[in-house]
Every structure is written in structure tokens, then in C-alpha cells.
Structure 1
Amino acid sequence: MGNVRYWLPGKGRGEIPAKLIYVSSSIYEGDWFSIRHTHSFAELFYVRSGQGNFIVEDDIYPVKQDDLVIVNPNVEHTEVSVSSDPLEYVVLGVEGMSFDFGNRSGSLNHKIINYWNQRDELLFYFNAMLRETENKEENYEAICQNLLEVVIISLMRSSSHPFSVVATQRANKVCSRIKRYIDSNYAEDISLDSLADKAHISKYYLSHTFARFYGMSPINYLNEVRLRASKELLETTDLSISQIAESTGFSSQSYFSQSFRRTCGLTPSAYRSQSKRV
């Protein structure tokens, strides 16, 4: 008798910061019209069959059987079916996390991936969650939660479509920490890459998430803080323009003057003269 035993190292795993809040199944037919909408949570759509278009904000993407559509929280979206081959899909609503796709050529707020080569595996998990929520037998919520984590880990292990997940609460904290860092260190040599290293997330996800919370990218915010500091120095000191440029973090006097004029409509020297006349 042959016997093979594999021991697990017992290291445990990092917790997936996700909570499954619903599972639904839909078939898009002529009696239903979907309008653009947003949610405060992420959604995963797995297309069982059919074809159509998925609309995310102002972009339209064709979708077909075995496409997985991942949409981050607070992103406007909807779907449109082809009447001759209606879309049929399962949707998971997942709160507490966002997806970091970390891809400069792709979107920051959604991803569409075809998983035809993993169809049997993914459909098993999606259909099992759907069946559990329909039957509501004892401990079905725990089973669904565990299946969700299996799905997310399976997707994250796919080397051809790598991504990571970030807790929504952590994203808020990370952006707040980066903002505070900029406020205190704006005179230093700061780049988007260095900020992303401090945040331990990709620079593309950081830029998108920071802009969602504060209305501008981290680098635009950095420039705003530097210009605000330079205005104060122009108004209250006799430092030269080059000294002010250096002390507020601008790489050169010419870049400082360029940025200042573009934002304020005046050169630094003209601004100083105007402020002293007031």
C-alpha cells in the first residue's frame, strides 16, 4: 500500500479583509433595464454565459462567458446585454476591501479578466455560495465567507493577472498617514514612488485612492503644500527666490517660478511685491 502524507508548516495566513454581504444570480433579459449606480463595497461579477457590455464610468467594455468583472467601491457601473445571447452571471458583494491591480496600463478602479481555463473551479465556488445562500442551512454564512476567501486567494495566485487586496479602513488610514507625511516633510525630495514605498501599496493604487479621499493626487497635493509654504515665505521674509524654492522642496528656481505662475497667475517676485503693498 502506498501512502503519501503532506504536512502543513502551521504558519497560518494573513486574514483577507473582506466580508461577503450578498450573492445574487441574474439573467439579463428584455424585461429589465439596469441604470448606472455605485456601491460603498466592491462587486465581483462572474459571467456564466452570454455576452454584452459592461459600463464603468465613461468607458464601455465587451464581456462574454467566463469573464470576471471586479469593480472597486464607489465606482459608477452597469451592464448591458446582447438580446440574442443574454448575459447570465453571479455577483458577489464584498465590503471592507478594495482591489489594488498595480498595473500602469490598466484601470485603477476595475478589472475584467477571462478565466475560461479556471471555469470549473470558479463556477464551483460561485455556485456553491449561491446554493448556500438560497438554502440557508445551518452555518451557511461561515461556509460562504470561507468560500469567498478561497476565491480571492485563488485569484491572487494567478501569475498572469496579479493583484492584491487592501482593507478599506486601512486605505483611509494609509492616505491620512501619507497626507500627514507630506505636510511635515514637503521640503524633502519626495516622489510618488517614495510615497508608495512608505504606504506599502502600488503607486497607481495610492494615487487613485488618495485622489478619491482628497480630490487630488498625492503629487498635486505636495505641490499645493509647497506653494502654500512659499507664499508665506514670500510674504513674511526677505529670502531670495532661489532660497525659497530650495527651502520648500522645488527642484529648481525655474520650476518653482513656473509652478507658481501657473497656479497663482503671478511670478513669485510679483506676488511678493503685491503682498507688501497690501
Structure 2
Amino acid sequence: MSSQSFRFSPEHPTAQNITLLNTSSSRYEGDWPSIPHSHAFTELFYVRDGQGDFLIEDQIFPISKDDLVIINPHINHTEISKGSPPLSYFTVGVDGLCFSFNGHKEYRIFNCREKKTDLLFYFNSLFQELDRQSEGYETICSHMLDILILQLRRITDSPFELITAQHPSKECAHIKRYLDSNYGENITLDHLSELSHLNKYYLSHEFTKYYGISPINYLNRKRIEVCKELLENTDYGISDIAHLTGFSSQSYLSQSFRKSCGMTAGTYRKLKKKRKDPI
């Protein structure tokens, strides 16, 4: 595999407090094993040419020219080249930025041709500066990253979450993803402790330090968010919603919902329905 890499110090943050950590330009030549790996930062992976598969956790996605893959921190991934021409791609490691996609996924794949967005121009410009390394190139690259991030906002249709310089540990990131996907299950702090292989008090402390909320309170907040979606968009009864979202009973859902939203679940549904109904 032919590859050219650059690493940056955190002395050149962007205007959005996002730091360009490292970049690489690579071409698959069959001499490099595709081993799943993860990073403590967000990675942007842009396919310049070729085709292959991109493995994310336990899923496989076909990728080809002009595809952009965005992978949040602590997500296992790797690429596999298939056919000719081989995969040729840019990677950009970005610190201080995390994407919050619809469906609570930690990754997203876009085809920039379909989006009619020439992101390749910005990647090429970035790497031209890196190749030449003229005076002030790191500052220019940081500003170019700002522009690239703004372009990403246009095509993702997803909110951004700017994370602090203190990164969540791999264990806490895993627990957060687990809660986002399994909120309907019967989950206790002891169960989360077993999953993370951490003492439950240490887990709660670390999770709160990184996310500003305890894991159980985060779980309850997540359940309330899903309750709102179901109340607005379905005709499920309150007891059914309680069961689907992991609340032990309808009364516990009602108590939690009133505490969080200042009204009953039934009142919330009526208000939302009234706003949707035409006059």
C-alpha cells in the first residue's frame, strides 16, 4: 500500500475549536492487511477512486468513487479493496468534533456525486498544502478544515455535537451506544457494569464526567425522547409505549414524563395533535 501521512500538533485549532490531528493519502496495493481498528477521534474517509467494502462494527457497506464515510470515535472499522482500479482514498482525523446522526448511528456514508457536492476539491486542496508545506501551511489547512466542515453541514442534514477536549473512554462510549440502541430492555447499573467490566460506581462517575449526566439518568432521558416520538407519530396506547420504551409500568412512565416535561403524556399527545391538525 502506498501511503503518505501527516500529523499535526494541537497548536492549530480551527475557528470552531476543531483540531486537524492527522491526514493520509493511500492507495491499496494488496500488501496491507485490513484489520478492524478504532480511533479516539472522528475520521473522514473519502474514496478518490476504485471500489470495495467498508466494514463498520458488524456491518459491511459497498463503497466506490466519491463516497464519503464519517466514523465517530471508538467505532471499529476497516476498508477492503475489490477489483481494479484498487481503492485510493484520503483520510482526515479530526479532534473536538462528533456527529449526531438520525437513527442514533455513529457513522454515515454519503455519495457526493448524488449530493452534487465537490468535496474532492477541498480534500485535494488540503493535501496540496500538505505536499508543499509552504510557510503557514498548517494555519491554512486549519482554515480549510473549517470550510470542509461547513460543506459537511450542508450534505449531512444531521446535527453536530462539539465534544470537549476530554474524550469519553472507550468503555463509556460503548455504554452510551448500548443505551441508545437497547433502551427498551430492563437495564440496571449492575448490568452496565458487567458490560463495561468496570465497577458500577466508577462507571457512573466516569460517564457523568464525560457526558454531564449519569448513565441511568441518560437512559431515562432517552426513553422520554422515544416516548415523545411515539406519542406524536403513532396511535399506541400509553401502556404500550411504556412497554416499548422500557418503563416498568404505565404509572412509572407517567411519573417520569410529568417530571421531565411538566405535563402528562396524554396532554402532550393532544397538544402535538392539535398543532398538526389543519384549521
Change over 3 Å in CA distance of 1:92–1:120 after alignment to 2:
same
After superposition, the CA RMSD in angstroms is: 3.8
The answer as to whether partners of 2:51 and 2:86 remain within 8 angstroms in 1 is yes
- Structure-2 separation of matches of 1:37 and 1:136: 29
Q: What does 1:127-142 correspond to in 2, within 5 Å?
A: 127-142=124-139
| Unaligned runs of at least 5 residues, structure 1 | 1-13, 197-218, 228-241, 252-278
Change over 3 Å in CA distance of 1:181–1:138 after alignment to 2:
same
TM-score, normalised with respect to structure 1? 0.57
1:182 aligns with 2:217: yes
Q: What does 1:32-71 correspond to in 2, within 5 Å?
A: 32-71=32-71
Corresponding letter in the other structure for 1:125? Y
- Structure-2 separation of matches of 1:19 and 1:46: 18
- Per the alignment, residue 191 of structure 1 pairs with 224
CA-CA distance at 1:27 after TM superposition: 0.6
CA-CA distance at 1:245 after TM superposition: 6.1
CA-CA distance at 1:192 after TM superposition: 2.5
- Per the alignment, residue 125 of structure 1 pairs with 122
Change over 3 Å in CA distance of 1:38–1:181 after alignment to 2:
closer
- Structure-1 separation of matches of 2:66 and 2:52: 12
Q: What does 1:84-123 correspond to in 2, within 5 Å?
A: 84-101=84-101, 103-104=102-103, 108-116=105-113, 121-123=118-120
Corresponding letter in the other structure for 1:191? I
- Identical-pair percentage: 37
- Per the alignment, residue 18 of structure 1 pairs with 18
- Structure-2 separation of matches of 1:116 and 1:36: 27
- Per the alignment, residue 30 of structure 1 pairs with 30
- Per the alignment, residue 201 of structure 1 pairs with none
Q: Aligned to 1:22, what secondary structure does the other structure show? A: strand
The answer as to whether partners of 2:224 and 2:257 remain within 8 angstroms in 1 is no
Deviations 1:94-115 (A, max 9, x none): 01111111x22xx611100000
Task: Tell me which of 140, 159, 170 is aligned to 1:164.
Answer: 159
| Unaligned runs of at least 5 residues, structure 2 | 1-13, 169-207, 230-244, 259-279
- Structure-2 separation of matches of 1:111 and 1:246: 33
Q: What does 1:261-272 correspond to in 2, within 5 Å?
A: none
TM-score, normalised with respect to structure 2? 0.57
Deviations 1:194-231 (A, max 9, x none): 999xxxxxxxxxxxxxxxxxxxxxx77xx6xx99xxxx
CA-CA distance at 1:166 after TM superposition: 1.3
Q: Aligned to 1:94, what secondary structure does the other structure show? A: strand
The answer as to whether partners of 2:46 and 2:91 remain within 8 angstroms in 1 is yes
Larger-Rg structure: 1
